[in-house]
Structure 1
Amino acid sequence: MLQAPQRTGLSGPTLIRLLTRLTDAEVLESRQSLSDHLSHWLGWTDAIALSAALNNRPPVIAPGSRPFGSAEERECVRVRATLADAIASDTAATPAKKHQDRSQAPVKKALAEADADYSNFRQRYLSLQHTMETSIGNLRSRLRGMVAARNGEMTRLAVVDAIMDRALLPKERALLGAIPKLLQGHFERLRLAEAAAMANANAEAETPAEAKAQPEPASEGDLTPLPVQTAAPITPGAWLDVFRNDMRSVLLAELDVRLQPVEGLLAALRAS
């Protein structure tokens, strides 16, 4: 089976390390601190709002929000599982089903040709990104409301989270939206690698038997020829399964990144 090119990855989240391994981009470790990065990402209005939230007394929220409990914990687990299932079940992110019925051969051929068009994978990836953003955004808003209802420093935390969510969303969309373009290069490299391997295999198969070099005996007293080493057979279309698995891994890693603010709000609610 074709394998992704092995490259030295960066330290950090799984998503970054995966993209570094699967793409041909040369990415260096950033020497800037998180605060330095945020200073470039936040607009002046966001910076003023964030400063006010951190330095002023937090507002008092009227009670009425449902208290945090096991139901919210289960809802977070459900949202994660639902999104992970959507990624796993999408035909762009799982290996193609193997049809045994020969009468379906034309259908299989048409599906393989459709999968070979990267625009289909790109559209599926973007659709799953939209689903993740919507589901996780709604969950984050509900948890933020519960955090704010605790008042005091918890309300301050909720206000800061709301400001950061609004300020960083455009940057998040731009950065994560570039992933399908990065994966396109990986898609093309896998396809070309299989085409080259199959061309070499066909050329080897067409070489006359007498033209192939015969191995020498192990020793002068041993006249038994050594077995000829043959390359493992290449399954046409195997590169698509490799790409689907890689794409699924990237999507699941992106899901983990998107859920980090939710995990932070959950930790605050558990500790309060």
Structure 2
Amino acid sequence: MVQGSRRAGLADATLVRLLARLTDLDVRESPQRFADRLSDWLRWTDAMSLFTALQDSPAHGAATHAPAPAEPPVDDPEASRIRSQLVESLDEDGPWMPEIPSPRARAHQRTTTPLPVLETKTEFAPYRRHYQGRQIAMGNAIEPLRARLRTRLAARSPDMAALAAVDEVMERVLGEHEHRLLAALPALLERRFARLRAAAEAEPQAWSGWLDAFHQELQAVLAAELELRWQPIEGLLAALHTQHDHA
């Protein structure tokens, strides 16, 4: 995988630091080396695929064909467009977005006394749906882009083809664990939501902005998850740039 060194230091990742702060967890760097932890996740079929990809690298033997002609420098407009769309969609249709009331609803509001925020039964379900929807959108956009970048990389040279093969194996191996861990984030946010709501209900005069604070936290976690998911894309783009520079 192109970005193994960055993923190895997960305790330093923005997402992990943010979750540690929101959940009061003490996150420590694992004493195990990344390679040792990876071996615990590899099935024997994955290990064989990874071994084959590494053995196919010209570093283990002479290259059998010349590199393909280099493409222009990679300022990948497709990747930039996809990232921009994902960033913009993080708060799209969020539960915190103000609803535009109908004329009838506005007339009703003028004749009734609005209830304090804490008297309405605020539930977490809309936030869970929003977060999971954004996770699905990230996966649907990033996974095909990663595959396309690997195809481009593999066409460059035998070295780059081996790197693309390694990334494919690592996506399969780490992707399963990554998806499982990221799927747990809504539950962590729900516990944070419940804690903030309980504190506000206990002292409604002391803190009336708990929901706005939670909105900001949820958006920050989403942005950090996007940053984590995007790391392999950055690695593949960097490899394409590097190969062009040395062509």
Is the TM-score greater than 0.5? yes
Counterpart AA for 2:19: L
Normalising by structure 1, we get a TM-score of: 0.72
- Counterpart selection for 1:161 from 149, 158, 167: 167
- Which stretch shifts more, 28-37 or 39-48? 28-37
Structure 1 residue 189: Cα displacement: 0.8
Q: How does 1:192-231 map to 2 (within 5 A)?
A: 192-198=198-204, 201=205
Q: Is the 8 A contact 1:11 1:17 kept in 2?
A: yes
Structure 1 residue 31: Cα displacement: 1.2
Structure 1 residue 91: Cα displacement: 1.2
- Counterpart selection for 1:269 from 219, 236, 240: 240
**Residue 259 of structure 1 corresponds to which residue in structure 2?**
230
Q: Does 1:176 align with 2:182?
A: yes
**Residue 15 of structure 1 corresponds to which residue in structure 2?**
15
- Which stretch shifts more, 72-81 or 182-191? 72-81
User: What SS does the corresponding residue of 1:263 show, helix, strand or coil?
Assistant: helix
Q: Determine the C-alpha separation between the residues in 2 that align with 1:134 and 1:65.
A: 31
Q: CA RMSD in A?
A: 3.3
Change (3 A) 1:186 1:65: farther
**Residue 33 of structure 2 corresponds to which residue in structure 1?**
33
User: What SS does the corresponding residue of 1:89 show, helix, strand or coil?
Assistant: coil
Change (3 A) 1:104 1:14: farther
Counterpart AA for 1:268: A
Change (3 A) 1:55 1:266: same
**Residue 3 of structure 2 corresponds to which residue in structure 1?**
none
- Counterpart selection for 1:127 from 133, 137, 142: 133
Whichever of the two has the greater Rg, that structure is 1
Counterpart AA for 1:162: E
**Residue 44 of structure 2 corresponds to which residue in structure 1?**
44
Change (3 A) 1:187 1:159: same
Q: Determine the C-alpha separation between the residues in 1 that align with 2:236 and 2:25.
A: 34
Percentage of matched positions with identical amino acids: 40
User: What SS does the corresponding residue of 1:76 show, helix, strand or coil?
Assistant: helix
Q: Is the 8 A contact 1:114 1:120 kept in 2?
A: no
Q: Deviations over 1:214-259 (max 9, x none)?
A: xxxxxxxxxxxxxxxxxxx754xx2111111100000000000000
Change (3 A) 1:263 1:60: farther
Counterpart AA for 2:211: L
Higher relative contact order (CA 8 A, sep 6+): 2
Q: Determine the C-alpha separation between the residues in 2 that align with 1:120 and 1:63.
A: 52
Q: Determine the C-alpha separation between the residues in 2 that align with 1:98 and 1:166.
A: 41
User: What SS does the corresponding residue of 2:90 show, helix, strand or coil?
Assistant: helix
**Residue 79 of structure 2 corresponds to which residue in structure 1?**
76
Q: Determine the C-alpha separation between the residues in 2 that align with 1:149 and 1:174.
A: 32
Q: Determine the C-alpha separation between the residues in 2 that align with 1:57 and 1:185.
A: 47
Structure 1 residue 25: Cα displacement: 3.5
**Residue 219 of structure 2 corresponds to which residue in structure 1?**
248
Q: Is the 8 A contact 2:70 2:156 kept in 1?
A: no
Q: Is the 8 A contact 1:190 1:239 kept in 2?
A: yes
Q: Determine the C-alpha separation between the residues in 1 that align with 2:69 and 2:141.
A: 20
